[in-house]
Amino acid sequence: MNKAIFLDRDNTLIEDKEGHIHEIEKFKLLDGVIEGLKKLSETDYKLIIVTDQGGGIGRGLYTEEDYEKFNNHMLNIFKENGIRIDKVYHCPHHPDLNCSCRKPKPGMLLKAKEEFDVDINKSWFLGDKVRDIETGKSVNVKMIGVIGYEEDREKLESANPDYVVDNFLEAVEIILK
């Protein structure tokens, strides 16, 4: 079985202060993400991004093609920096559809678990929102809340993650120790 690190995308890896980011010209990695992902790429963890995009795609604010272009831009930057991302899963469904893949439901994690033969008990999830924490906890991965733009330490701690950290690099250090 494999170990995995599940990574939320928006406001965990990339800056999304406005919400529903999809324009390449607004793409900005958060501080420490390249350095942290390089360190994680050197481990035997599968690195899997899980991102809700239903607010943008599902509501018609941008298309699946816009999402793919933006995502490919991000993945190319990672690749240029020697970073391995094993897979990106996204939920394109409108938030009102009650699908099984939109966080806090664990559909994307369960799909990755099956596809990559992941041992959930040896895996981690890093995210910046309470719903990320709820997603991780629902399948018993070790959960790290990364303080972002929308939810502060107190709000993240209220969801009882294993850890709450100030930034991505701090989360990486916890995983690697």
Active site residues: 8, 10
In degrees, to the nearest 5, what angle opens at C-alpha 17 toward C-alphas 104 and 19? 55
Q: What is the dihedral of CA 109, 110, 114, 116, to 10 degrees?
A: 10
Of 36, 17, 40, whose CA–CA distance to 27 is shortest? Answer: 17
Cβ atoms within 10 Å of 10's Cβ, excluding its own: 23
Task: Categorise residue 166: left if φ over 0, alpha if ψ from -120 to 50, beta otherwise.
Answer: alpha
103, 91 Cβ separation under 8 angstroms: yes
Q: What is the dihedral of CA 55, 142, 140, 12, to 10 degrees?
A: 0
The rounded distance, in Å, linking the Cα atoms of 122 and 38 is: 20
